[in-house]
Structure 1
Amino acid sequence: MTTTITYEYDRIADRKRLDFISNALQRKAQPAARVLDVGCGNGVISRHLGKLGFNVLGIDVSEATIARARALNTQPNVRFDVISAEKLVAQGDCFDAIICSEVLEHLQDPSSLLKVLYQSLKQDGVLIVTVPNGSGPRELFVTRPVLAMREKNSWPWRMVVSVKKALGYTGTTVQSAADNLDHVQFFNKSDLENLSTQNKFRIVRFGKANFIEDVFPFSFVAKKVRALQWLDCKIADALPYRFTGGFFSVWEKAN
């Protein structure tokens, strides 16, 4: 009897990312494998993988996100903790697979975390990394301009804040209730490959996210029309990597 797995994500692009992660794990790891979800946020990915039979530990340094993750969790094979990856290494914990989804772009020094994850991953394990494309449509036309406006505290920024408040935008996402979700790193495909090599990994598989769905005014329409989200993801698959909104990748230890 086939079990139907439900999604907590509504957006097609988010589901596409989750499917990439799930498929990569199922190709490489046994059903009861130990999986570490680093920077798990509200635990959406952890809970989804738990439904697939994996034993998942979701960690985050944000107490607010872990509190939210625990409140939503009903699975005995999934647990959450407010702890850093460094402390797990110190405890000697080791995992069959590690998820690092939409995390590296928030870190001033991504290599510091990757060195820790290398130690936490079994020799034949798999690390799954997803990041926005720093040269993709969303980062070029939304993220970078917004960060620049905020830094200058210009009138366009104050207007953006007013509009967001009027629309009920809180700054958090379905994935994370953390206070600060700023992007401080902007990776292109070559950057990601170099980062993996510098930290003794190799990327064995790449995937693409969406195309222009996240860019206003397309985002305003697409979020209401799922068929447009689906089409946007298909367009991203057909275009060169530089046009995708985000990268999905599977890493293995190089030595």
Structure 2
Amino acid sequence: MTTTPSLTYEYDRIADRKRLDFISDAISGKTQSHAKILDVGCGNGVISRHLGKLGFNVLGIDVSAQTIDRARTLNTMPNVQFEVISAEQLVAQGDTFDAIICSEVLEHLQDPSSLLKVLYQSLKPDGLLIVTVPNGSGPRELFVTRPVLKMRENNDWIWKAVVKVKTALGYTGTTVQSAADNLDHVQFFKKSDLEVLSSENNFRIVRFGKANFIEDVFPFSFVAKKIRSLQWLDCKIADALPYRFTGGFFSVWEKVK
């Protein structure tokens, strides 16, 4: 987990910064400083703006006009642009990129392969695809995401009570990364699932990374969000544990030639 002293971070959480460092390190190690980067499902544009500060030419796209409006409002760099456009439309235009970021996106899609096929066409032959997703069998998805989805579906009155408690504790339905209305997870990936998914879509994974451990699990999350040293320690613990215990996967994909 590295940080660049000269850069400021829009993310406060150590786990989010860790993910951002993984992405920027992967791209910086393989591409030129002025390379063309596509940030798919960019949300509020946090990743796009960070890469822009490193000198990359970044296009952030999202189908949510609400998030793109937010991203444009926060952007001050001429080398970073945001558009309400689909990846399919970029392919139709013939646009290709040196690297593509697909961060915390695939878990929201009913058919992730359909997007990956499009990204394959948008990526230059020697380009990199950076994919980050929650670990579908990790602590956060097992003890938070899945129970919440089931509770909301089957117990409306209990869910309403939970929402009131979360609101009182300062939790919101959006994230720093996205202000989209629906952030539900419909895919729950294990490490082996990602390896199969990449192979099925003519990619191979050349590097894996880990997110945090139990920081996102309540009540630890309530304490950890106020104490940065606990967040740092939690990320270090995740690095030491087997992959199945991490809260999320970071991965670098290359095209199979």
TM-score, with length taken from structure 2: 0.97
| Per-residue deviation, residues 203-253 of structure 1 (Å, max 9, x unmatched) | 000000000000011101100000000000000000000000000000000
Aligned pair partner of 2:11 in 5, 9, 12 = 9
3-state SS of 1:28 partner: coil
The worse-fitting range, judged by mean Cα deviation, of 145-154 and 82-91 is 145-154
In the alignment, which residue of structure 2 is the partner of 1:29? 31
Q: Residues 106-131 of structure 1: CA distance to partner in whole angstroms, max 9, x if unpaired?
A: 00000000000000000000000000
- Cα separation, 1, equivalents of 2:170 and 2:205: 40
1:161 Cα offset (Å):
1.5
After superposition, residues 17-166 of structure 1 pair within 5 angstroms as: 17-166=19-168
Letter in 1 for 2:108: H
**In structure 2, what is the Cα distance between the partners aligned to 1:136 and 1:3?**
31
1:156 shift after superposition: 2.7
Alignment partners' CA distance in 2, 1:133 and 1:53: 31
Q: Render the CA deviation track for 1:54-96: whole Å, top value 9, x for unaligned.
A: 0000000000000000000000000000000000000000000
2:248 maps to: 246
**Other-structure match for 2:192:** 190
Q: What 5-or-longer segments of structure 2 have no aligned partner?
A: none
Alpha-carbon distance change, 171 to 147 in structure 1, aligned in 2, over 3 angstroms: same
The structure 1 segments of at least 4 consecutive aligned residues displaced by more than 2 Å after TM superposition are 153-156, 164-170
1:163 to partner: Cα distance: 1.4
Of the candidates 226, 229, 242, which is equivalent to residue 227 of structure 1? Answer: 229
Equivalent residues in 2 for 1:204-219 (5 A)? 204-219=206-221
Give, in angstroms, the shift of residue 179 of structure 1. Answer: 0.4
User: Following the alignment from structure 1 to structure 2, what is the Cα–Cα distance between the partners of residues 66 and 155?
Assistant: 33
Counterpart residue identity of residue 70, structure 1: R
Cα distance in structure 2, aligned partners of 1:161 and 1:88: 38
Once structures 1 and 2 are overlaid, which stretch shifts more, 150-159 or 238-247?
A: 150-159
- Which stretches in structure 1 are left out of the alignment for 5+ residues? none
Change (3 A) 1:3 1:227: closer
Structure 1 position 191, deviation (Å): 0.2
User: Letter of the aligned partner of 1:88 in structure 2?
Assistant: L
CA root-mean-square deviation: 1.1
Q: Name which of structure 1's ranges 147-156 and 64-73 shifts more when overlaid on structure 2.
A: 147-156
**2 CA distance for matches of 1:214 and 1:239?**
16
The structural deviation recorded for 1:164 is 2.5
The DSSP-based 3-state class of the residue aligned with 1:68 is helix
CA distance in 1, matches of 2:151, 2:206: 38
Cα-to-partner distance string for 1:181-210 (whole Å, 9 max, x where unaligned): 000000000000000000000000000000
> What secondary structure is seen at the aligned counterpart in 1 of 2:88?
helix
TM-score (norm 1): 0.98
2:175 maps to 1:173: yes
Q: Give aligned pairs, total.
A: 254
